[in-house]
Amino acid sequence: MIEITLLGTGSPVPDPNRAGPSTLVRAGGQTFLIDCGRGVLQRAAAVGVGAAGLSALLLTHLHSDHIGDLGDLLITRWISTFAPDPTPLPIIGPPGTAETVEATLKAFRHDIGYRIAHHADINEPPAVEVHECTDGPVWDRDGVTIRVAPTDHRPVAPTIGFRIESGSASVVLAGDTVPCATLDELARGADALVHTVIRKDIVANIPQQRLQDICDYHSSVQEAAATAARAGVGTLVMTHYVPAPVLGQEDQWRALAASEFGGRIELGDDLHRVEVQPRA
Ligand SMILES: [Zn+2]
Ligand SMILES: [Zn+2]
C-alpha cells in the first residue's frame, strides 16, 4: 500500500485555507515529500511528519510556488536532527536544483553561522545530497524504487514527474504539465496519478492577461483526466486547484474529470489522504 497525503492543494495565490503545492507519499516505511510550497511543514506536522523524518525531497520543477518553503525545510531539518552524524537530505530535481539549493543555503548563511556558534553540538551546515536528472531511475532502497521522466511545462524547463513503486503498488506525480507522451509513458498502468489541474473554463474568462497566461502550460481538469485514461491508471488525484473550489463545488470538478476518465477520482482540501492499493 502507498499512502498519498495532499499537504498543500493551493497555487501561487495565497489562500487562508490551502498551503502551497506539496504532496507527501509514504511507501515501504519511507517518506517522500514532493515539492515544498508555502506552509508545507505546518501541514506535515498535522500528520506527524517532521522535516527530520523525510527520506527524500523530490522537486518537479523550480517554480516559486513549488519551492517556496525550501529554506524552512532545510533549516528546520538541520536543527531538528539530533544525530551526531546526520544523514544528508537527498534532494532529487531537474537541472538547476543544485544551484537553487546552494543559493537558498547562502541566503540563510547568517542563520547557519549563528546556530553553529551557539550550539556546541552543531558544527556543520545543513547536509544535502542533490541529484539532478530528467529521465531514468533515481532511487532504489529497501524495496522502494523511483523513476523520473520529463514533463512539458514550457517555457519552464526542464520539468520532471516521478513514479514511486513499492511492492506491486505504484504512484505517479506529474507536477505542472500539459499532456505529453513522456508523462503518458511514466504513468502507464500506475495505481494512482497525482496531477495538478486548473479550470481553464474559468481562468480563460478572467479579464486579466497574466492569469490567462497560465492556461498554456498547465493541464485542465479534463486534460489531466484524459492523461489518466490514456495511461490506464486506477485513481486520479487532483491537486493545485486554480481557482480553489468553493464549498459545494467539488462535484462539478469531479464531473469534469469523469467526462474523460472512468476510474476513481479524488480531490479535496489540504490533508486529504488517499490509500493506494495495487490493482489485482
Ligand atoms: Zn509551475
Ligand atoms: Zn504550480
Of all ligands present, the nearest one to the C-alpha of 68 is: 2
* 3-state per-residue secondary structure call for the chain: CEEEEEEECCCCCCECCECCCEEEEEECCEEEEECCCCCHHHHHHHCCCCHHHCCEEECCCCCHHHHCCHHHHHHHHHHHCCCCCCCCEEEEECCCHHHHHHHHHHHCHHHHHHHHHHCCCCCCCCCEEEEECCCEEEEEECCEEEEEEEEEECCEEEEEEEEEEECCEEEEEEECCECCHHHHHHHCCCCEEEEEEECHHHHCCCCCHHHHHHHHHCCEHHHHHHHHHHHCCCEEEEEEEECCCCCCCHHHHHHHHHCCCCCEEECCCCCEEEEECCCC
Q: Roughly what angle, to the nearest 10 degrees, separates helices 97-107 and 70-80?
A: 70
Of all ligands present, the nearest one to the C-alpha of 242 is: 2
Q: Rounded to whole angstroms, how far apart are CA atoms 260 and 277? A: 22
Query: How high does pLDDT run on average in the chain?
Result: 95
**Interval between CA 108 and ligand 1 midpoint (Å):** 24
**Interval between CA 151 and ligand 2 midpoint (Å):** 13
User: Catalytic annotation on 85?
Assistant: no
- Report the predicted TM-score, pTM, of the whole model to 2 decimal places: 0.96
Lowest mean pLDDT among 196-200, 231-235, 259-263: 196-200
Which tens digit of pLDDT belongs to each residue from 7-31?
999 999 999 999 999 999 999 999 9
Does residue 280 carry a pLDDT above 80? no
**Interval between CA 36 and ligand 2 midpoint (Å):** 11
Does residue 216 carry a pLDDT above 90? no
Work out the pLDDT band at 214, boundaries 50, 70, 90: confident
**Interval between CA 38 and ligand 2 midpoint (Å):** 12
**Residue 181 CB partners (closer than 8 Å, separation 6+):** none
What residues sit around ligand 2, an ion, with C-beta below 5 angstroms? 65, 176
From residue 71, how far is each of 23, 37, 40, 231 by CA, in Å? 17, 11, 11, 35
pLDDT more than 70, % of the chain: 100
Does residue 273 carry a pLDDT above 90? yes
Which tens digit of pLDDT belongs to each residue from 137-161?
999 999 999 999 999 999 999 999 9
Does residue 194 carry a pLDDT above 80? yes
> Would you say domain 2-276 falls under CATH 3.30.200.20?
no
Of all ligands present, the nearest one to the C-alpha of 160 is: 1
Category of 97 on φ-ψ map: left (φ > 0), alpha (ψ -120 to 50) or beta:
alpha
Catalytic residue among 65, 69, 152, 270: 65
Which tens digit of pLDDT belongs to each residue from 64-104?
999 999 999 999 999 998 877 788 999 999 999 999 999 99
pLDDT at 125: 94
Of all ligands present, the nearest one to the C-alpha of 154 is: 1
**Interval between CA 142 and ligand 2 midpoint (Å):** 31
**Interval between CA 157 and ligand 1 midpoint (Å):** 10
